Amino acid sequence: MNLSKNRKQMLDLAERLGVPASDFSDNLNLLRLNEVHIVDMLPEMLLMTRSVIAEETFIYRRKPIDAVKSGLLISFQNISGYSSDHNENHYNEKSRQVRPHVRISPLHLESEVVFPKGSKISQITILIELDFLKSFIGKDQETFAYLFNDEKTLLIEEFLSPDMADLVNEIAGTPEMGILSEAYYKLKALELLYLLFKNLSMRQQVVHQNLRADEIAGLYRVRDAISSSPERPLTQDELVRVSGMNMLKLRKLFTQIFGKGIYEYGQYLRMQEAAKLMQEKNLSVSETGYQLGFTNLSYFGRLFEQHFGLKPKKWSSQHRLKGK
């Protein structure tokens, strides 16, 4: 599919969702739209897969979407660094911990969309109407009542499970279909939602509070700071300074968005980085542990086993064999 057709699809989608294309059509030239595929099943749902590369930093203020009365925007994101400019290596290295994740936000939430220069963004986005989603969840919908409260501005982010990542890759890699294409994408979208809500059901339970834009920005600054330095946990003073809020409030709101406490989130990222170092860089267990700031390798081994179900040496040997 050529780039001009992809651009037209994006502009047509903006108009379909009630977002004036004039708001960002000029800046759209900053993005190389490699792949765009839209399956319009509204008023129940809409599914979009896209792969774009930011030629320059792209910033867009997303306004409320009024295509349906009430609904959620669920974006499965698998972001990887890309650049033909060696000056962008610093960005890629610093962003190595931005793991594949799912972001859930209500359609009425205004947000700032930023694609940094040199970044490659591959994502599947599902826009889903709330009553249809409730019907899909059925009798268990009370567990997720916080998602259905239009009076609150919420934002939820969840890591992609291996099952979700496999399914996202399957959907993104499926060529355009003819007959029964809508049935296929609807089935796969609902399968993704099932896996997502299965994960959400295991999150730490918190009382969900209304979020202001400055609080959301502060929480993401903390997330990014933790992600960029997994080998060194931030001190409380650093967390307060970065977030712009006190620790009590920060802990509550961080868990509300990310489903884990600040410490648990950091440890999760450290273990994901440990697996990456052993599998992709072929580092030994001791080299990996020391590089991630562990002075006690026995503790590192226990923590790794809690996350992956295997001791790091056994996990490493199994995954190296798979990679051959």
- Average pLDDT per 10 consecutive residues for the chain, totaling 324 residues: 72 73 69 84 91 83 82 79 35 49 88 78 90 94 87 83 86 78 92 95 88 92 90 91 96 95 93 90 92 92 92 86 52
Place of tokens 């190595």: 96
Phi, psi of 108 (to 5 degrees): -85, -5
Compute the Cα dihedral for 312, 317, 321, 324 and give only its sign.
positive
44 and 135 in a single domain? The answer is yes
Range of the domain at 273: 213-323
Nearest to 195 by CA among 102, 107, 73: 102
217 and 181 in a single domain? The answer is no
Q: What is the pLDDT of residue 317?
A: 86
Q: What is the pLDDT of residue 66?
A: 82
Angstrom distance (rounded) from CA 100 to CA 122: 10
Q: What is the pLDDT of residue 253?
A: 95
Question: What CATH number is associated with residue 55?
Answer: 2.60.120.280
Distance spanning both ends of the chain, measured CA to CA: 34
Q: What is the pLDDT of residue 25?
A: 66
* Length in residues, the chain: 324
Indicate whether 236 belongs to any domain. Answer: yes
Residue 65 CB-density burial (10 A; 0-12 exposed, 13-18 middle, 19+ buried): buried
**Residues forming a β-bridge with 46:** 40, 127
Indicate whether 100 belongs to any domain. Answer: yes
Q: What is the pLDDT of residue 5?
A: 80
Torsion-angle region of 188 (φ positive above 0: left; ψ -120 to 50: alpha; else: beta)? alpha
Indicate whether 207 belongs to any domain. Answer: no
Give the domain-ending residue among 200, 222, 240: 200
Cβ atoms of 158 and 102 within 8 Å: the answer is: yes
63 and 13 in a single domain? The answer is yes
Please state, in angstroms and as integers, the Cα–Cα distance from residue 200 to each residue in 69, 147, 197, following that order. Answer: 24, 11, 5
